[in-house]
Structure 1
Amino acid sequence: MNDYLENVRKYDASADEAVVAKIVRHLGIALRNRDSSLVSASDAQELARVEEKWCGKKLGVVGPAAKAAVDAVCEVMASERAKSRVTFYYLVAKELGKLETL
């Protein structure tokens, strides 16, 4: 858990540990596998799944707003080759103003 929080805090120094823990619980088994614990920003299908599953189903945001948030996070994390799924999801939720609803 501390590794996830530390990674999120590289992008948001005031990240709430409880919110990060909720994302970790939501992702569950996906975090056990290295491949599924990372987001591939170069894979359009992967980003579409993030928009559909995370933005749409979990956060209730669809369409252009979801795509814009995912694109913004891709830019913010562009320098990071291995993008942590926890950090990516946290930043998308923050971009959409949905951290308090998690």
Structure 2
Amino acid sequence: MTDWAADVKIYRPDADDAAIEGLLKTYRLVMTNRDSAYVAFSDPTELATVKTSFLQKKLGLTDSNEVLDAALAEVGETLKADRTKSRITVYYLLAEKFGKLDLFH
């Protein structure tokens, strides 16, 4: 079993454990499937889904597409050395960037 919290802590050593746990509870089913457990930053359809489903719907963001796309690109750049980009890590970094970690407590 993958330690998703440890993956987040590679990028944020002082990560909010309660927020990670909340993300894991929310996305537990998604994380059991290898295909959906990781975000493919090279797939525009995948990025559009993350933007629509996570950033706009789950986080409730109303920022412009340019702002949301820039945030996705920034997280992609942060994780570029990692071949497998954990959905939990991607979501944590995005929620943190927009000050929305409290939604997962």
Give, in whole Å, the separation in 2 of the partners of 1:54 and 1:48: 10
Q: How does the TM-score come out when normalised to structure 1?
A: 0.92
Q: Which amino acid aligns with 2:34?
A: R
Report runs of 4+ in structure 1 exceeding 3 Å deviation.
none
Give, in whole Å, the separation in 2 of the partners of 1:86 and 1:7: 8
Give, in whole Å, the separation in 2 of the partners of 1:26 and 1:68: 25
* Greater relative contact order, per chain length (Cα 8 Å cut-off, separation 6+): 2
Give, in whole Å, the separation in 1 of the partners of 2:51 and 2:25: 19
In structure 1, the gaps of 5 or more residues are: none
Q: Which amino acid aligns with 2:96?
A: K
**SS at structure 1 position matched to 2:11:** coil
Q: Which amino acid aligns with 2:93?
A: L
Question: Corresponding residue for 1:38?
Answer: 38
Question: Corresponding residue for 1:8?
Answer: 8
| Number of residue pairs the alignment of both structures matches | 102
Aligned-pair identity in percent equals 37
In structure 2, the gaps of 5 or more residues are: none
Give, in whole Å, the separation in 2 of the partners of 1:89 and 1:5: 12
Instruction: Output aligned runs, 1:1-102, within 5 Å.
Output: 3-62=3-62, 63-102=65-104
